[in-house]
């Protein structure tokens, strides 16, 4: 049996259930996936915590865009962590950079101190750093548990060789978790990187159940997703990716 663990990026309660039923170890619970993930509502987190037999890691990200945070944003992130900790979640996912793209040590340490004893993942802000090996060592010094990365490339398949090098450099000091595997790429990424944890989303377009539809009114701005479609996480796509990765790992 493979000892690979899988984390599924989800934005709904039904997504958590689907991830669990497909065999995932945990989820990264987000809102705003179109922006790369933002902090979900407390109500969603409280309901999520009632779901058994799967870990819940919550992203702490007050907005989309870059990872350079002002004082007010940092206070909001610390407040979110303190509030969400009371729900008993298993981990937090966050990242912060300085204006030069390096890990913001002071900000990251503040967030870690507020989040402990929960598990800490530094998210793909890592992929925006100028020197990945130096960034990895910084995260190790800070005591971060894992780092999510596509190997500083648009896709993890393109970045697999850097991920492999990061896995080797990390050893047992931190978990390097490749993100974004698919059923098609899982075997090559697993074979190249040798990682033991993988992160991905498996979102399927799902038509709205609305019968009455206004085609001339929109809730978003000029750039927007379809008003009457959404992306949902379903068991079968998650299970297929997990099966492909497990097969490749032997």
| Digit-coded pLDDT (tens) for 110-142 | 999 999 999 999 999 999 999 999 999 999 999
Residues 201 and 16: beta-carbon distance below 8 Å: no
Residue 23 is part of which domain span?
A: 5-249
Q: Is the pLDDT of residue 223 over 90?
A: no
- What CATH number is associated with residue 94? 3.20.20.380
Give per-residue pLDDT as tens, 23-48. Answer: 999 999 999 998 899 999 999 999 99
Give per-residue pLDDT as tens, 172-184. Answer: 999 999 999 999 9
Report pLDDT for 197.
Answer: 98
What is the chain's percent helix, strand, coil content, to nearest 5? 40, 20, 40
Report pLDDT for 219.
Answer: 75
The three-state secondary structure class of 62 is coil
- Compute φ and ψ for 37, nearest 5 degrees: 105, 125
CA gap 238, 203 in Å, rounded: 9
Give per-residue pLDDT as tens, 178-221. Answer: 999 999 999 999 999 999 999 999 999 888 899 998 877 777 66
Report pLDDT for 34.
Answer: 86
Instruction: Say what angle helices 186-193 and 160-170 make with each other, to 10 degrees.
Output: 40
Other CB atoms within 10 Å distance of the CB of residue 218: 12
Q: Is the pLDDT of residue 227 over 70?
A: no
Between 103-107, 162-166, 237-241, the lowest mean confidence (pLDDT) is in: 237-241
Q: Is the pLDDT of residue 230 over 60?
A: yes
Domain count, the chain: 1
Report pLDDT for 2.
Answer: 62
Other CB atoms within 10 Å distance of the CB of residue 84: 23
Nearest of 152, 170, 171 to residue 160 by alpha carbon: 152
Report pLDDT for 189.
Answer: 98
Nearest of 141, 200, 133, 143 to residue 168 by alpha carbon: 133
Please report, rounded to a whole number, the percentage of residues in the chain having pLDDT higher than 70.
95
Give per-residue pLDDT as tens, 88-103. Answer: 999 999 999 999 999 9
Give per-residue pLDDT as tens, 145-156. Answer: 999 999 999 999
Report pLDDT for 207.
Answer: 87
Q: Residue 135, exposed/middle/buried by CB under 10 A (0-12, 13-18, 19+)?
A: buried
Report pLDDT for 1.
Answer: 40
């Amino acid at each position: 049996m493979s000892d690979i663990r899988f984390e599924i990026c989800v934005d709904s309660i039904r997504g958590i259930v689907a991830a669990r039923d497909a065999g995932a170890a945990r989820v990264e619970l987000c809102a705003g996936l179109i922006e790369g993930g933002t902090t979900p509502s407390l109500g969603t987190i409280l309901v999520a915590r009632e779901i058994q037999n799967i870990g819940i890691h919550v992203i702490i990200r007050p907005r989309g865009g870059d990872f350079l945070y002002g004082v007010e944003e940092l206070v909001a992130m610390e407040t979110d962590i303190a509030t969400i900790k009371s729900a008993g979640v298993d981990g937090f996912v966050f990242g912060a950079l300085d204006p030069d793209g390096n890990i913001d040590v002071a900000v990251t340490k503040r967030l870690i101190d507020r989040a402990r004893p929960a598990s800490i993942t530094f998210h793909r802000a890592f992929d925006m750093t100028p020197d990945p090996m130096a960034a990895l060592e910084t995260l190790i010094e800070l005591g971060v548990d894992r780092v999510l990365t596509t190997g500083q490339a648009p896709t993890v398949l393109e970045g697999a060789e850097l991920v492999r090098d990061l896995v080797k450099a990390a050893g047992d000091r931190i978990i390097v978790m490749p993100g974004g595997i698919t059923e098609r790429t899982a075997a090559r990424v697993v074979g190249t990187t040798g990682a033991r944890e993988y992160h991905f989303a498996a979102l399927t377009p799902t038509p709205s159940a609305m019968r009455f539809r206004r085609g001339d009114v929109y809730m978003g701005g000029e750039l927007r997703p379809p008003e009457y479609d959404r992306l949902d996480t379903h068991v079968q796509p998650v299970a297929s990716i997990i099966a492909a990765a497990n097969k490749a790992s032997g």
